[in-house]
Structure 1
Amino acid sequence: MNRLAGKRALITGGTSGIGLETARRFVAEGADVLVTGVTPAGIDNARQVLGDKVPVVRADARDLDAQRGLAERVREHFGELDVAFLNAGVSDWRPFEDHTEDSFDRLFDINVKSVFFLTQALIPVLAHSSSVILNASNSAHGGYGQSNAYAATKAAVSSLMRSWNADLLASHGIRFNAISPGPVDTPLYSKYGERRAAMLEAISSGIPVKRMGRPGEIAEAVVYLASDASAFTVGQDLILDGGQTAL
């Protein structure tokens, strides 16, 4: 299929997990894509998966100068941008009493502040009639133990998505939507080593469909929101969590 043929797209945090799978799907759907990452290993892996035609650039989400530089890099590469999937972020689940000012600031700097100012920097680059998709989380829609500060950042992202439509849809032709994934089986869990299987089983038991999400299932929703098929979809936050929030 070529649902994104001719689209020029930016995917932040596109070197692993949901971001990388979305980048792969975008390329398969005919988009010209630029992705960002942070770690050299992740950047190298993405280059191997996506091929030479997809620029993979380093951009630290906590460095606002780097975010503004990314917008300029996008302008130089594409001229204008049709789609942005702002996916870069971090999670930090811990008991409320264990959070420190540093852990709180890190979450908000990467998950909220960087998204806010990158979007601001991208406004002159985004084409009239463009789509921006933000990666929120189902933790913003329900109460989950140890999600506290992380959930607050994702609730902020969802709120910004709605407000930005009021600011920018009529004047700039930019429509904003979000996705809110639940637990997704990504390489993130590989750090748990031999405990990984037991952890995934425990998480799956709390999901009504009795399994975790797959990166491709999340990527499919992003493709829809990026495509012209969703032109009438504005201000929506799609909860993709196997029924965990609803049930």
Structure 2
Amino acid sequence: MKRLQDKVALITGGNSGIGLATAERFAAEGAQVIVTARRQDLLDDAVRRIGHGALGIRGDVADPGHHATVADNIRDRFGALDIYVANAGVNTITPSAQVTPEEFDAQFNVNARGVFFGVQQIAPIVRDGGSIVLTSSLAATRALDGHAVYAGSKAAIRAFARHWALEFKARKIRVNVLSPGPVDTSILEKMGIPEAERPGFVRAMANMIPAGRFGEADELALAALYLASDESRFVNGVELLVDGGMSLN
């Protein structure tokens, strides 16, 4: 039997990178998958790639009203949710002295506010015994140049998870954190690294990883599958680092 047979799973930021790989993996394991993203064209492409009857809902995770709309939509279509993966995130590499208030707000609005109000609005439709997976980052615990704002926003996620694991204990909803190290996704382009500098950036980062390479999106998807499935039914309130050993340096 497939590991997520007959489960209903919602993944934010499911149009690319880790989110898309997770959506594809969950669908292949039998889940009814719903993904969200801000751009309709990318969302449509993702739904086609995921297949298996996947559903896409457009919206901005920084808007609490979007999460309420998603919750209503899922309740109307499927009755309830089994798995919520709060994955959407943004990152801009900027030294602290050069960070603008707009850049600060942009990262915290998606990475922290989006996760908090997403869980606030979505948790009521998660079935008792369900699973919530929050995507943080190795940067929350390891200092990386230009990552102060991003790290702060992702550290908030780890704090949220510990509190929610206790808040939801009566409903036996597990809350865990997935923290990737460097992963080979389109986020490298979104981080603002000039194309000419990317090969050097990738080499420098790979040299810091005992595994000697960036992670692959599907490797993170497999970790998310573990946290979402009954295989981790006694795992709650933890942070799972999937970083090729980078946190050891």
TM-score exceeds 0.5: yes
SS across alignment from 1:124: helix
Which one-letter code corresponds to 1:189 in the other structure? L
- The TM-score normalised by the length of structure 2 is 0.94
Which one-letter code corresponds to 1:224 in the other structure? Y
User: How far did residue 103 of structure 1 move?
Assistant: 1.2
> After superposition, where does 1:102-121 map in structure 2 within 5 Å?
102-121=102-121
Alpha-carbon distance between aligned partners in 2 of 1:13 and 1:5, rounded to the nearest angstrom: 22
Which residue matches 1:150? 150
Which residue matches 1:245? 247
User: How far did residue 194 of structure 1 move?
Assistant: 5.0
Which residue matches 2:172? 173
What RMSD in Å do the two structures reach over aligned CA positions? Answer: 1.5
Gaps of 5+ in 2: none
User: How far did residue 199 of structure 1 move?
Assistant: 2.9
Contact map agreement 1:175 1:234 (CA 8 A) in 2: yes
Alpha-carbon distance between aligned partners in 1 of 2:243 and 2:186, rounded to the nearest angstrom: 18
Which whole-Å deviations, capped at 9, do the CAs of 1:195-237 have from their partners, x for residues lacking one? 4433322221221211000001100000001111100000110
Which of residues 231, 234, 238 in structure 1 aligns to 2:233?
A: 231
Contact map agreement 1:4 1:29 (CA 8 A) in 2: yes
Alpha-carbon distance between aligned partners in 1 of 2:40 and 2:166, rounded to the nearest angstrom: 38
> After superposition, where does 1:27-38 map in structure 2 within 5 Å?
27-38=27-38
SS across alignment from 1:142: coil
- The TM-score normalised by the length of structure 1 is 0.95
Contact map agreement 2:220 2:242 (CA 8 A) in 1: yes
Which one-letter code corresponds to 1:215 in the other structure? A
Which residue matches 1:131? 131
Alpha-carbon distance between aligned partners in 2 of 1:14 and 1:239, rounded to the nearest angstrom: 20
Alpha-carbon distance between aligned partners in 2 of 1:75 and 1:42, rounded to the nearest angstrom: 24
User: How far did residue 14 of structure 1 move?
Assistant: 0.3
Alpha-carbon distance between aligned partners in 1 of 2:137 and 2:15, rounded to the nearest angstrom: 19
Which one-letter code corresponds to 2:180 in the other structure? P
Instruction: Name the stretch that deviates more: 47-56 or 184-193.
Output: 184-193
Alpha-carbon distance between aligned partners in 2 of 1:47 and 1:235, rounded to the nearest angstrom: 31
> After superposition, where does 1:188-203 map in structure 2 within 5 Å?
188-190=187-189, 192-193=194-195, 195-203=197-205
Which residue matches 1:14? 14
User: How far did residue 242 of structure 1 move?
Assistant: 1.0
Q: How many residues align?
A: 246
Gaps of 5+ in 1: none
Which one-letter code corresponds to 1:77 in the other structure? R
Contact map agreement 1:8 1:81 (CA 8 A) in 2: yes
Which residue matches 1:60? 60
Alpha-carbon distance between aligned partners in 2 of 1:18 and 1:161, rounded to the nearest angstrom: 19
